[in-house]
Amino acid sequence: MRAVALASLEDMKAENTVEIDLTGKTSLADTMIVTSGRSNRHVGALADRLVKDLKDKGFGTPRVEGLPACDWVLIDAGDILVHIFRPEVRGFYNLEKMWGADRPQDRAAS
């Protein structure tokens, strides 16, 4: 499921995708993926495509929140959680810092 999600996001040109291992940190999921879309429309398209790809590959229908506004869409597929943000919203919530992962631009600065 993780590979399907990452491939789907890459195909749709998601930006600054970060994968966070949640094993031992929470029982919510095993993996969190945080990524960005360039606009509300791009965020919505990323979410729609990811849901379709997961369903087409036999992973069922994930729960989706945030689609009407498309500032931040959460896709809960059970073993993975995918957060798709507009860049400004992602910077505000900074989930990577909360879960102990470096954002791509933070790694480049090191």
Average pLDDT in the chain: 90
Number of other residues whose CB lies within 10 A of the CB of residue 79: 14
pLDDT band at 102 (very low <50, low <70, confident <90, very high): low
Q: Above 90 in pLDDT, residue 104?
A: no
HSE at residue 4, side-chain half, CA atoms within 13 A, is: 17
Structure tokens at 47: 């979410």
User: Residue holding tokens 């993975």?
Assistant: 80
55-59 long-range CB contacts below 8 Å, 24 or more apart? 57/1, 57/4, 59/1, 59/4
Q: Is residue 55 within 8 Å of 102, Cβ to Cβ?
A: no
Q: What is the pLDDT of residues 40-76, one digit of tens each?
A: 999 999 999 999 999 999 999 999 999 989 999 999 9
Going by pLDDT thresholds of 50, 70 and 90, the confidence category of residue 107 is: very low
Contact predicate 82/75, CB 8 Å: yes
**CATH domain 2-92 topology:** Beta Polymerase; domain 2 (3.30.460)
pLDDT given at position 109: 45
Residue 106 has pLDDT above 90, yes or no: no
In the chain, the amino acid numbered 1 is: M
Query: Would you say 82 and 30 are in contact if contact means Cβ atoms under 8 Å apart?
Result: no
